[in-house]
Amino acid sequence: MSRRLRLVVGFALALLAVGGFLLAVGPEAVFSELATADLAVLAVGFLSVLVALACWSEAVRRLVGSTGHSVGGVRYRSAYLSGEFLKQVIPMGQSGGPVLMSYTVSAETDAPHDSTLAASMVFAFLNVLASLVLAVVGLAVLILTRRGPSGALLQSVLVTMVVISVGIIGLTLLAVYRRSVLERAALAASGGLRRTVGRLSERAAAALAPDRVRETLDRYTAVVGQLTGDRRGIAAAVGLSITGWIFFLLPLYTSFLAIDSHVPFTLVVFAIPVVTLLNVVPLPGGLGGFEVALAALVAAMATVDLPTATAAVFLFRLSNYWFIVLVGGIAAASLSFGVSEAPLLPGEEDETV
């Protein structure tokens, strides 16, 4: 199946999932909420997304600069937006974001592919870590201020997230200072999984083979090497990543305000990163699964009903997803980037098959 056909099928399935969710919640109630939306308040969310994209593109630009190559200007910004467009529309685009971003940036600038790929991988790592830290802070504030549901469950979630964050940082430190320890631990863990899970899946067995594990570990340590090479550049990228996330999260808060409702901003800071990290639906932009998970989580943790939460999430996705597709699509068209020409991602078949 060609990538174009997979794209069409992916969007069709995603829209069916969204439509099914809307029918389950109650379209009349959701549309009634949407009809009351204040467009002026909603516009703040669109501007906020543009600021977030500007912050993140600047972070990638600075990381590319740390490899010794200068990029910038309108052409670079258009290339970055083109990469965002490919990430959003290709079904496996979110997981293969660094590959797609390095493809568009290296094609339109003087920076070589190796440099843009390293910068994109470092930024992806920092962005995930920044989102996880923000989610931990948001949940901690919710628990401490009692502005959301309390109890042992949320406290357990907070502890789990802290452990995961510390684990990621610990793996990073091992990769820098004790690579041999990390390699032995990774091989031991993969060996155990290969003897168990590998018996049930040939693909899992192949992915857990020692050579594949060492190759993955080499790529990981190479990224970490880039992280420790330019501390000033990394610090700037971290700051820009966190700033970008704050502006990227703001549209959900303003979407609730636009329909005359309110949720704590700390809930927004917790909910979106968690749903983004856990959303594994292999559809463009996580369509369908993202909307269901986010609306259900917000309705469960805030004093709003499910139709109100669904309406706000739909408004949020206008800026968070469809607006990015529009802006990125215009940029990609101006630079003649096509979906079919983008590099294949892991798990994709060759289009000639």
Judge whether 322 lies within some domain: yes
Judge whether 194 lies within some domain: yes
What letter would DSSP give residue 209? S
Q: Which domain holds residue 185?
A: 3-334
Kindly report, residue by residue over 315-340, the tens digit of the pLDDT: 999 999 999 999 999 999 999 887 76
| pTM beyond cutoff 0.85 | no
Judge whether 170 lies within some domain: yes
By three-state DSSP, how is residue 262 classified?
coil
Judge whether 343 lies within some domain: no
Kindly report, residue by residue over 60-95, the tens digit of the pLDDT: 999 988 888 889 999 999 999 999 999 988 877 777
Least confident of 40-44, 111-115, 182-186, 306-310: 182-186
According to the model, what pLDDT value does residue 346 have?
57
Q: Look at the block and give the residue holding tokens 């550049």.
A: 233
Judge whether 208 lies within some domain: yes
Judge whether 219 lies within some domain: yes
% of the chain with per-residue pLDDT over 70? 86
Distance CA 111, CA 96 (A): 20
In order of 25, 159, 270, 273, 337, the CA distances from 258 in angstroms are 20, 34, 20, 22, 35
Judge whether 180 lies within some domain: yes
Judge whether 348 lies within some domain: no
Least confident of 101-105, 257-261, 267-271, 299-303: 299-303
Distance CA 109, CA 275 (A): 34
